[in-house]
Structure 1
Amino acid sequence: MDFKTLVPGAGGAAAVAADALLVVVGGDAVPAALPKALATACQQLVNEGDFDFKAGRTAWTAGVDGVKARRVVFSWAADAGVPAFRKAVAAGLGLLKGGGAAHAAVLSAGAAAPDAAAAEALVAAVTEASYVYRATKPSAPAAGKLKRVSLLVEKSQAAAADAGLKQGQGIAAGVELARECANRPGNVCTPAYLAAEAKKLAKAPRIKAEVLERKDCEKLGMGSFMAVAQGSAQPPKFIVLRYSGGAKADAPVVLVGKGITFDTGGISLKPGAEMDEMKFDMGGAASVLGAFKALAELQPPVNVVGLIPATENMPGGKAVKPGDVVTSMSGQTIEILNTDAEGRLILCDALTYAERFTPTAVVDIATLTGACVIALGHHRSGLFSADDALAQALLDAGERGGDPAWRMPVDAEYDEGLKSNFADMANIAGRAGGAITAAMFLKRFTGKYRWAHLDIAGTAWKSGAAKGSTGRPVPLLVHWLLAQAR
């Protein structure tokens, strides 16, 4: 998709030569700033009952006198904020799907000003609406005809909007990679597949990839990670990515992504219903790969390390059993009371491995608990951190990227449930506050650096008719990484 800014000539938006003109309108009446021909067309649709100034309303008309675009789409924005603008653009694009428009121009009238944030949101809306998974589905519909999108701006707005479009395209590339990886079935997206994707990323400037094999992990003492991996015929991979955009002396930030490429629950077998969706249990790993793709595109001056412990969680004669005790890389022992609480078992060794980079901060990302879905639903990811500044920076990044999170508690009292009679800790506590006690388990391995945990179980994918990966929280992560470079 080609995204550009366009400064209209003397005739204004009505004179723009495009196949379609998408007008995002705000307020409770036809915006006074609209050119007369567009204002007349909008008012006519209102008079005929085809359009009004209410949430989700869209309408289109064709052959408007005085308007060069063949089709004009009006879409209402609830307010002048960027999230409302993004929703209105997405709704308006729905009327262009399946049509013959190859070039669409977008005009904001009474809605968000076309600044950098709105430009980035435009890219996000368009790329999300145009994404089609076809890797294992040859019968998937062909890509739409839309190839070019122009954001109409005044000359004074062009530089900021151009920067927003560029950043948006970099983030969109990362989101698409994350979606592509997570949408692939478990027999395709194996640990080896994730490792291969990491090596592809290493072809970009400033990125290097290293893949540790089973013997390497055993030598390092990753007993917890290896316990989960021992039930699978697929070899585990511990993937290390490095992006060196900052000064050599600058300490990196570290992203740790849960890479369970399929989760049966192990011996603590999950119910069969919707188990197919457990191919999405590597959403954290996918988001790390996506963040590195965005780094490759944007090349910010920051140092970043990505760690992905990747394995399947399978039942079988060699699989770890409830009641088994394993020794983590940190030396702490863990009683595995439930083999379906495996994500924390692979993450804890990765969090210990992160110490060697002397990081300024570590953020782990995981589809960790169903309890987080119950707590927060599917709109906001769960954010856990004892560091107020780090937590706020991540929350702010999520708001900027249209990828919101919500901070959850990490009070010491929640740690009590992890006590074990046979090991330093158990891998689960009671049902109450399950997302929090999972975070408290991880916290035990992060004493040497600033740390935050993102539970994306409710946001990494959608179920039902819209089943598929969302690519979240790539936008949040990239905005946070870009802020480290400032």
Structure 2
Amino acid sequence: MDFELKTLDLAGAAAEKCDVLLVLVTEGFQAGKDPVSRLVGAALSARDLEPKPGKMLQAYRSEGIAATRVVLAGCGDGSGKRVQAAVQAAAGVLRSSAARKLVILLPRAAGAEAVRAAVCGTAESSYVYVATKSKPEGRELKKVVVGVADAGAQRQAFQRAKAAAVGIEFARELGNLPPNYATPTRLGEEAQKMGKAHGFAVEVLGPKEVARLGMGSFMSVAKGSAEPLRFITLRYNGAGKSEAPIVLVGKGITFDSGGVSIKPSAEMDEMKFDMGGAASVLGTFRALAELKPKLNVVGLVPSCENMLDGSAYKPGDILTSMSGQTIEVLNTDAEGRLILCDALTFAERFKPRAVIDIATLTGACVVALGGVRSGLFATDDALAEQLAAAGEAALDPCWRLPLDDEYAEGLKTNFADVANVAGRAAGAVVAAKFLHRFTQNYPWAHLDIAGTAWKGGSAKGSTGRPVGLLLEYLLSQEGGNASAKDAPPRAVKAAKPAKGRSRAAA
């Protein structure tokens, strides 16, 4: 899809030849004498249109307006959130009209967040998955013009929004692929293709290389699958060698059966989305390729399937992680933390200024936050604040949850340094506390995206979150600005192993 930013007012919009002209109408709209103003003014006066998000009115071949169809959509106060809601509400109209060219006229006072919302909202609403369909439905919308009062003033916001849309769509497409397509091998190939096309350094390791690294925890999860594991490293070098990188770590379980602790069959097909963290890292790198910011970023993706056969790991097994810490497996369906812990140890070699892992980690986070906000955990207040602000700006919000030492009590075991699960209570926090043990040497944040990486039901599919949040955060760090390294890590020490505890399987 081709996006264009253009300086347009209501009179100019009337002259734009297109299939659909989408006019976003704010509260307090002031009508002029041009044809679009007259149409909006009449609709408001007759109360056929309300300027509330979700309210719409359509007109066909209106006098004095070059567009075939005009859609008037309320957008409340014109904020990014309201603009996004208005664009998404108009998505059904766009699909039914088979429009090829769309012009979106933003309110005159629209700022950067409204531009972002218009671009990303349109891209999201018009996305159609076709990769594995025998008769794919074609995407009709080819050209989108975003009209603003001053295109020059909004150019940077527009470019960022376009890059975010590209990255989000890349992540969605990977996430939506079936698990027999999106294997660990395929993820490695996609990373290599991206690296070749955009100049990233990419390294893809297989089982033998991972064994030499001592990633015993990661390797154990992969043992039950015929698909070989992959450990993917991407490096974007936009700044000098002396600048410490930000490391993104994405959970890449391309299918999660639960292993020996097998999941219920209902909705198990959705476990193809368990590589949402990996997809978001790859999508973020795809967006970085569009913008080329001046910073260094490393992406780490441990990827495998969690399957069960005679060689699969099992409850009661003791694993030795890359860090040397031993782990008692009490539930093989808590596998994400077992592959991430080795990747988090591996991240130390880059001497990072911050490490952020992204994972569809716990159902408990879905219970806590639903599909609205991703769960955020952090050992550094500055890093947490920057990520939260980035999420709000990108309309990809998160919510910070605690990391108190007491939450690690349930992970104590008589047989290893740590168990991989505790009881049902505070499951998202306990999972974060498990990961926290492996992140003592750098500022760290964990995003639990189990509720936000995909949707179920009739809208089933990957969302591409949190690519928008990650990209916004990285851009805020360009040139070393507002870096987490400027504030000392406020880490909570991991609980020491101790004897005795009772636990229900998570």
CA distance in 2, matches of 1:7, 1:433: 51
Local SS of the residue matching 1:310: strand
Give the C-alpha shift of residue 49 in structure 1. 5.6
- Unmatched segments (≥5 aa) in structure 2: 480-506
Amino acid at match of 1:183: N
Shift of 1:115: 3.1
Q: In the alignment, is the contact (CA less than 8 A) between 2:60 and 2:68 conserved in 1? A: yes
Could you say what secondary structure the match of 2:104 adopts?
Answer: strand
**Greater displacement, 98-107 / 202-211:** 98-107
Look up the match of 2:147: 152
Structure 2: distance between partners of 1:8 and 1:404:
31
C-alpha change, 1:359 and 1:475, in structure 2 (3 Å) is same
Give how far 1:46 is off: 4.5
The answer to whether the 8 A contact 1:25-1:74 is kept is yes
Name the structure 1 match of 2:96. 98
- Distance in 2 separating the partners of 1:261 and 1:207: 23
Q: 1:435 to 1:38 in 2, by over 3 A?
A: same
Instruction: Show the 5 A alignment for 1:170-209.
Output: 170-209=163-202
In structure 2, relative to structure 1, the CA distance for the partners of 1:13 and 1:427 (3 Å cut) is: same
Asked if 1:24 is matched to 2:17, the reply is no
Letter matched to residue 135 of structure 2: S
Q: Secondary structure at the match of 1:95?
A: helix
Check the 8 A contact 2:31/2:41 in 1, yes or no.
no
Q: Provide the C-alpha distance between the structure 1 equivalents of 2:369 and 2:42, rounded to a whole number of angstroms.
A: 42
Answer yes or no: is the 8 Å Cα contact 1:6–1:150 preserved in 2. Answer: yes
Structure 1 portions without partners, runs of 5+: none
Within the candidate set 286, 293, 304, 1:300 is matched to: 293
> Deviation of residue 321 (structure 1)?
0.8
SS in 2 for 1:175: helix
Task: State the match for 1:134 in structure 2.
Answer: 130
Take 1:247 and 1:183, find their aligned partners in 2: how far apart are those partners? 36
Q: 2:236 aligns with which of 235, 240, 243?
A: 243
Deviations 1:177-208 (A, max 9, x none): 11111111111111000000010111134411
Q: Match for 2:368 among 367, 375, 378? A: 375
**The one of 106, 109, 113 aligned to 2:107:** 109
- In 2, Cα distance between equivalents of 1:162 and 1:17: 23
State TM-score, norm by structure 2. 0.91
Matches within 5 A, 1:77-476: 77-109=75-107, 113-144=109-140, 146-154=141-149, 157-476=150-469
State the alpha-carbon separation in 2 of the partners of residues 8 and 210 from structure 1.
46
Does the 8 A contact of 1:132 with 1:140 survive in 2? no
Report the secondary structure of 1:98's partner residue.
Answer: helix
Query: Is 2:55 the partner of 1:57?
Result: yes
Deviations 1:132-171 (A, max 9, x none): 1111113332112x222222223xx212322222211111
AA paired with 2:26? G
Name the structure 2 match of 1:5: 5
SS in 2 for 1:202: helix
RMSD over aligned Cα, in angstroms? 1.6
> Please, which moves more after superposition, 166-175 or 354-363?
166-175
Are the aligned partners of 2:79 and 2:110 in contact in 1 as well (CA < 8 Å)?
no
Contact in 2 for aligned 1:367/1:456 (Cα 8 Å): yes
Aligned counterparts of 2:213 and 2:305: Cα–Cα separation in 1: 20
Q: Is the 8 A contact 2:31 2:40 kept in 1?
A: no
Cα deviation for residue 130 of structure 1 reads 1.2
SS at match of 1:452: strand
Structure 2 residue identity aligned to 1:244: N
Q: Distance in 1 between matches of 2:10 and 2:397?
A: 40
> By how many angstroms is 1:250 displaced?
0.8
CA contact (8 A) 1:238 1:310 kept: yes
1:483 is displaced (CA, Å) by 1.1
Shift, 1:35, TM fit:
4.5
Distance 2:269 2:153 in 1: 43
Deviation at 1:484, TM superposition (A): 1.2
Change beyond 3 A, Cα 1:34–1:288: farther
Matches of 1:269 and 1:93 in 2, distance apart?
A: 39
Amino acid at match of 2:61: G
The residue type paired with residue 60 of structure 2 is: A
> Structure 1 residues 60, 459: closer, same or farther in 2, change over 3 A?
same
2:65 maps to a residue whose letter is: V
Tell me the distance in 2 between the aligned counterparts of 1:48 and 1:9. Answer: 23
Amino acid in structure 1 at the alignment position of 2:147: L
For 2:37, the equivalent position in structure 1 comes to 39
The CA deviation at 1:8 is: 3.8
> Are the counterparts in 2 of residues 115 and 160 from structure 1 also a CA contact under 8 Å?
no
Task: Tell me how far apart the structure 2 counterparts of residues 300 and 138 of structure 1 sit (CA, whole Å).
Answer: 39
Corresponding residue number in structure 1 for 2:498: none
- For residues 3-44 of structure 1, give each alpha carbon's deviation from its aligned partner in whole angstroms, at most 9, with x where no partner exists: 2222248943323333322111111x5x11554432332344
The TM-score normalised by the length of structure 1 is 0.95
Q: Which residue of 1 aligns with 2:493?
A: none
Q: Is the 8 A contact 1:12 1:35 kept in 2?
A: no
Question: Would the alpha carbon gap of residues 252 and 50 (structure 1) be closer, same or farther in structure 2, given more than 3 Å must change?
Answer: same
**Residue type at the aligned position of 1:57:** K
Residues 115, 257 of structure 1: CA spacing in aligned structure 2 closer, same or farther, 3 A cutoff? same
Deviation at 1:47, TM superposition (A): 5.8
User: 2 CA distance for matches of 1:121 and 1:15?
Assistant: 24
What percent of counterpart residues are identical? 55
Aligned residue in 1 for 2:14: 14
